[in-house]
Amino acid sequence: MKGSKLRRLIIFRSPAAGEFYMLREHAQKVLKAIGKEMSEQGIITREQVPAALAALQLAIKDAAVPPTKEEQDSPASKTEEVVGFAQRAFPLLDMLRAASKKKVEVTWGV
């Protein structure tokens, strides 16, 4: 069951937490923030988890720039709820925290 729509979804897994799905375009940005390249399959080894966790926390902090006055006043901001990087990265952040505690890996794939 690998239709083109399903291949757009990336599944993150870890023995420390339940799996979750992310759209490929968002997964690519989150993985880039921790220094990983998007691929069909990948792993954050248990040795790499602490550094990945720190990098993702920093990327979330850096992305938390408040909108400018112009952005706040734009018509789009009044009608759309924008999902930011922090919200998209949260499931992986949570998984990395759990993996760090249990000293296990995190994997992804299609």
Contact 71, 77 (CB under 8 A): yes
pLDDT the model gives residue 64: 79
Query: Distance from CA of residue 81 to its chain's centroid?
Result: 19
With a cut of 50, which residues of the chain have pLDDT below it?
A: 1-2
E strands, 15-100, are 17-23, 41-44
Which stretches within 34-84 are classed as H helix? 49-63, 69-73, 75-79
